[in-house]
Structure 1
Amino acid sequence: MFTILTMIRAYKKSDRPEVIDLLRRNIPKYFDPSEERDLEKYLDDQMEDYFVYVEGFEILGAGGINYFPEEKVARISWDIVEPNAQGKGIGRKLTQYRINQLGENQNIETIIVRTSQHTFKFYEKMGFQLEKVEKDFWAKGFHLYQMTMRNH
């Protein structure tokens, strides 16, 4: 009997095609096709901390953190989980990993997540509270659900 290695590690540029493919597999249920360009721009120019959940040699999830130190805020960003692996705790582990990382940062008072109507209940279970809703924010039929959590 052998054990499949699972870990959360820092994103590498070589992970880019696999992360883009994760997003594609979540279209149209969780993302609009137009968001692929946004993810590419994020990975190329806007990413600060980004992590991947790896099982064996396959990336099954990804998610990032962006920092706004002047506001003492961090934002959880671009969470994506392989559709066939959803419901198995990968999203929860990735989210908790980043919350734990932020818990060590005394300069961050608030954690924000901007999600859609499709996944806001997941973040609610993780302890985030709904702050505002904006219709058709991401794309037509994809509404913004902005949620916050106190850090520490």
Structure 2
Amino acid sequence: MLATVPVFRAYEAIRDEEAVLQLFRSNLAPYFVPEEEADLLAFLRGEVSTDGLPYFVAELAGHAGLVAAGGYALNHPYAVLTWGMVNRQLHGQGLGRAFTAFRIAQCRQAYPGKSIEIKTSQHTEGFYAKLGFRTLAIEPDKWAPGLHEVHMLLEV
């Protein structure tokens, strides 16, 4: 488990863009494929409001750079968690669970009464299942050969 408590804050485009890309790159194979980097960059540059909401980053004392990033949005009829990732070297230490709980709480505050969906891969399906998400559908090879889309929902 983590020795220190992470600090969560709003994403700041000028300050954080390259660090988020580094987080993404730390999770290539099996969690992301290189072709998705262009989609992430477009998201960061075009869909995140200037004040950094609703996308967040996490910092941890003793670690250079960001250790996590992710957000939420409204995707009728559900809220949705967006572009979540944790520095690969920190997987399995509770940071992902803490950061996802933070994002869910923020999402529930912004969109009370909405269930929360996520489209993830088979590699993180178990992680989200432990947080109460249930699998709705699986689309094989959605993002790349062997990288399936798993559509999950966390009920209200």
Report the TM-score, using the length of structure 1 for normalisation: 0.89
1:86 to 91, 105, 119: 91
Query: Matched residues in 2 for 1:123 and 1:99: separation?
Result: 12
Query: Matched residues in 2 for 1:44 and 1:137: separation?
Result: 24
Instruction: After the TM superposition, list the runs of 4 or more consecutive aligned residues in structure 1 that deviate by more than 4 angstroms.
Output: none
For structure 1, list consecutive stretches of 5 or more residues without a partner in the other structure. Answer: none
- Give how far 1:64 is off: 1.1
Q: Assess if the C-alpha contact under 8 Å between 1:117 and 1:142 holds in 2.
A: yes
Query: For residues 65-119 of structure 1, what are the alpha-carbon distances to aligned partners after superposition, in whole Å with 9 as ceiling and x for unaligned?
Result: 1113xx3421101111111111111111111011111222455421001000100
Question: How many percent identity over aligned positions?
Answer: 35
Q: Whose strand fraction is larger, Structure 1's or Structure 2's?
A: 1
Query: Matched residues in 2 for 1:4 and 1:150: separation?
Result: 31
1:55 to 48, 56, 60: 60
Residue 100 of structure 1 pairs with residue 100 of structure 2: no
Q: Assess if the C-alpha contact under 8 Å between 1:135 and 1:141 holds in 2.
A: yes
User: RMSD in angstroms over aligned alpha carbons?
Assistant: 1.8
TM-aligned CA distance change 1:4 to 1:119, over 3 Å? closer
Greater mean deviation of Cα atoms: 17-26 or 42-51: 42-51
Paired amino acid for 1:96:
A
How many residue pairs get aligned? The number is 147
Q: Assess if the C-alpha contact under 8 Å between 1:73 and 1:108 holds in 2.
A: no
3-state SS of the aligned residue for 1:52? strand
For structure 2, list consecutive stretches of 5 or more residues without a partner in the other structure. Answer: none
Paired amino acid for 1:100:
A
